[in-house]
Structure 1
Amino acid sequence: MLGLFPPTPEPEAERARLVAASALTLLALFMLLHFIGGPPRVDASPSALRVERIQAFQTDLEACRAALLASGFETAALPDLDGPGACGYENAVELTASTHAHSEPLAANCALTAAFALWERDVVAQTAARRFGQPVAEIQLAGPAYSCRRVAGRADRRLSEHARGNAVDIRGFVLADGREISIARGWRGDAGERAFLREIRDGACGHFAAVLSPDYNRAHRDHFHFDLGRDSLCR
């Protein structure tokens, strides 16, 4: 009767197969919870990167850089810049390693950089995973954070927060599959893009003092503006 019936699997081999299958199931469950589960756990330790510490980071460069590094964000310190007139910055860094690629380097006040890093990690990544089922591969910045200029359209000729390296502009995103979501087109694009952009705009309001989008005025029709200035705006 040899060959009529398949051989009975060895107990050791069967146990190994079950262990491997269980491990794969647990890994899949972990990844699912990581990408579409609830908000990330907040590290409450005194040195952690948290929204509540952003204001203190304005004048404490070392604490700011240490908190960023402990959370996986790497920076290079920049020398203070005494620009023309009231322009210039201090306590600035260049973000050299982050959770997402950037279309160009982000060089700004460390507190602004910390707020941006938190927004990337806790808002952008979570929202993209939940709404699109994939991560954001690149955040497209709309020019340098530092630019010695005034606020467009203001009669008082007030300096922009960009003149202090205290603001960042974002024009769009590239998903892992190569799909581009620009603010210029997506703000009034399909329902999925509209919802994504509005959710991450709203999420930014808990990280920055001023958050301006196409809902604010025509000057922001194609980008988000985030800053840590004296005005409190979320629009």
Structure 2
Amino acid sequence: MKNIAVAAATTALIILTGASLPDKGPFPQEKPRIDGETEAPAETAPIPEPRPSTANGTENPPTPPNEKPLDTAKPEEKPEKFGPPAPGTLEAQNLTIEPESDADHAKCVRELQALGAVFKDIPRIDDGHGCGIDKPINLVEALPGIAVKPQATLRCPAALALARWMKESVIPAAAVAAKEHGQITTINQASSYICRLRNGAFAGKISEHARGNAIDIASFSFEKGEAIAVKPRREDSTLTGAFQRTVSASGCLYFSTVLDPESDAAHEKHFHLDVLQRKGGYRYCH
């Protein structure tokens, strides 16, 4: 009864004074303005940016987490894969042919001759776009009796690395893994000097092939039996598989870059071997 009486008294007081109850709690007091102060504009909620539309006017659906968005662009037409770099497609880089000292070249030639390699000097190559070799050679035989087919156009350091790798690694490994085939007779190369970008791409960095620093090996031929082709052999438990993995790994002792069929699809059928000089003697072998 006491609570009812208090409520009745409160209602009577409101009626007598003309006051009214707020709809939803007490209203905040207005902040007093200072002379010269302008009233701040009321804040408004930001308007979200419209979703981007595709060329046909429809919105792209949201991409689920951990998934790459679909590429809705039409593929561009590209020039022939192994043609020379198109103007304006090269990244900023040194596009001059690196000069080679006479002394360094002469030293390399003497070492190559000492291994019994067969080669000949050819005129300077300059194909533009930074493609070319200051002192190129045509390598006919990497070692006595081991032909390079077709003949490889290279800088002497690349030819020397190939000859040393063959003598000290490939031939001993083949003597164990393929002794029934006899001696290696041919290195079947897929690419030596050629003016192009890396992996035959449309844009990017110039290939070491375009500087005479690289050679691609597709297979090795023997006196008898089938050639040993370079192909994916990671799960190959035969001696042939062991041979390929062995010579791929040892290649990094002679070359600064070794890419084999396990590297990527672009090298699925050959070894890429080059003598690119990197800072600190860093080597990339995969």
Q: Same fold (TM over 0.5)?
A: yes
Q: Which of the residues 157, 163, 186 maps onto 1:138? A: 186
Matches within 5 A, 1:197-208: 197-208=244-255
Q: Deviations over 1:133-154 (max 9, x none)?
A: 23212111113x1111111387
Pair 1:122 & 2:173 matched: no
Comparing both structures, which one devotes a greater share of its residues to helix?
1
Instruction: Indicate if the aligned counterparts of 2:196 and 2:209 stay in contact, CA closer than 8 A.
Output: yes
> Following the alignment from structure 2 to structure 1, what is the Cα–Cα distance between the partners of residues 156 and 110?
11
Matched residue, 2:6: none
In 1, distance between residues paired with 2:156 and 2:196? 20
The aligned amino acid for 2:175 is A
- SS of aligned partner of 1:104: strand
Q: Distance in 1 between matches of 2:162 and 2:200?
A: 26
**Does the 8 Å CA contact 2:177/2:240 hold for their aligned counterparts?**
no
Is the counterpart of residue 166 in structure 1 residue 210 in structure 2? no
- CA offset at residue 230 of structure 1? 3.7
User: Which residue of structure 2 aligns with residue 106 of structure 1?
Assistant: 152
Answer yes or no: is 1:225 the counterpart of 2:269.
no
- Residue 94 of structure 1: CA displacement? 1.3
Partner of residue 84, structure 1: 128
SS in 2 for 1:157: coil
AA paired with 1:208? F
Q: Which runs of 5+ in 1 are unaligned?
A: 1-57
- Show the counterpart of 1:75: 119
My pick for the range that moved more, 159-168 or 145-154, is 145-154
Question: Quick check: which has more Rg, 1 or 2?
Answer: 2
**Distance in 2 between residues matched to 1:104 and 1:186, nearest whole Å:** 25
Rounded to whole Å, the distance in 1 between the matches of 2:242 and 2:223 is 18
- What stretches of structure 1 move > 6 A for 4+ residues in a row? 153-156
Matched residue of 2:266: which SS? helix
Deviation string 1:90-123 (CA, Å, 9 cap, x unpaired) is 2221123333122210110000000011111111
RMSD, aligned CA: 2.1
**Number of equivalent positions:** 177
Residues 189 and 173 from structure 1, CA distance in 2 versus in 1: closer, same or farther, beyond 3 angstroms? farther
Cα deviation for residue 155 of structure 1 reads 8.9
Distance in 1 between residues matched to 2:133 and 2:247, nearest whole Å? 27
Alpha-carbon offset, residue 156 of structure 1: 6.4
Does the Cα contact within 8 Å between 1:171 and 1:183 map onto a contact in 2? yes
1:137-192 CA distance string (max 9 Å, x none): 2111113x111111138796000100111100001111221322111365655612
SS state at 2:242 partner: helix
Q: What is the aligned partner in structure 1 of residue 259 from structure 2? A: 212
SS class of match (2:197): coil
Letter matched to residue 223 of structure 1: H
Unaligned runs of 5+ in 2: 1-99
Paired residues of 2:232 and 2:268 also in contact (CA < 8 A):
no
Maintained 8 Å contact 1:65/1:75: no
Aligned-partner Cα distance in 2 for 1:75–1:64? 12
